Structure 1
Amino acid sequence: MNTVHLQMQKLLIDVEYTLKQSGLWEVNNPSPEALMSTQPFAVDTLHPEQWLQWIFIPKMQQIVRSQQALPVGFAISPYFEQTCQSKPEWAKVIKVLKEIDEVCA
């Protein structure tokens, strides 16, 4: 596994841990219909933490495991900064998301 994949693997573990520590991790899966959203961040069917847990993290873990090229030129932290900035439990999560953005810059 190359350095960038190892770095992303660590950041994915960090974001999962941080979501759990912040009380934002869910035990129950959303409905299959909710996961089928075609909207960015599934804004029409999922809460921001659900999108991270059920869509982003698994998709990125699959990319890392299969040694595929990481997506480049995207940033997810601005969405979470805008959506969750008034919620203090998100501060540490957003910090990790900014690190993910840097790896994929």
Structure 2
Amino acid sequence: MKVNLVKNKLAEIELSLQQLQLWSDTLPSAQALASTTPFACDVMTLEQWLQFIFLPKMHLLIEHHQPLPTNVAIAPMAEHIWANTDVHSPLINLITEMDDLLNDT
């Protein structure tokens, strides 16, 4: 089932963030969390957006049996942000897989 595939991919992204030491114990401010800029790039890093906005929102949608997004393009942003760092390639690949999974109708 697609939801289980998404849940597994979310777990893989979370683990990758932790392994790359991009996981934070510090919650961004309420103002940062309320950003309406795509990826909240005006107030936080992409890894913070993934951790504090994307992952929780996806888990909430799944938990409440809500429709998952079907027009997702996170990978291009990840490729742009981490273009010069090979160490992030596995994380970018996971994000690309998530994009593909969600965009698969």
For the criterion TM > 0.5, the same-fold answer is: yes
- Greater than 3 Å deviation, 4+ residue runs: none
Residue type at the aligned position of 1:6: N
2:2 aligned partner: 4
Distance 1:56 1:78 in 2: 15
Whether the 8 Å contact between 1:5 and 1:64 is mirrored in structure 2 is: yes
Distance 2:71 2:27 in 1: 29
Residue type at the aligned position of 1:33: Q
Deviation of the 1:73 alpha carbon? 2.0
Q: TM-score, normalising length from structure 1?
A: 0.93
2:16 to 14, 18, 23: 18
Q: How many equivalent residue pairs? A: 103
Distance 1:35 1:6 in 2: 27
2:49 aligned partner: 51
Residue type at the aligned position of 2:47: E
Q: TM-score, normalising length from structure 2?
A: 0.93
Distance 1:73 1:55 in 2: 17
Whether the 8 Å contact between 1:73 and 1:104 is mirrored in structure 2 is: yes
| Residue ranges of structure 1 left out of the alignment (5+ in a row) | none
2:7 alignment partner, SS class: helix
Range with bigger deviation, 90-99 or 54-63:
90-99
| Residue ranges of structure 2 left out of the alignment (5+ in a row) | none
Aligned residue runs from structure 1 range 1-105, under 5 A:
3-105=1-103
Distance 1:4 1:55 in 2: 21
Deviation digits for residues 50-84 of structure 1 (CA, Å, limit 9, x no counterpart)? 00000000000111111211110221101110111
Distance 1:88 1:33 in 2: 32
Q: Percent identity?
A: 35
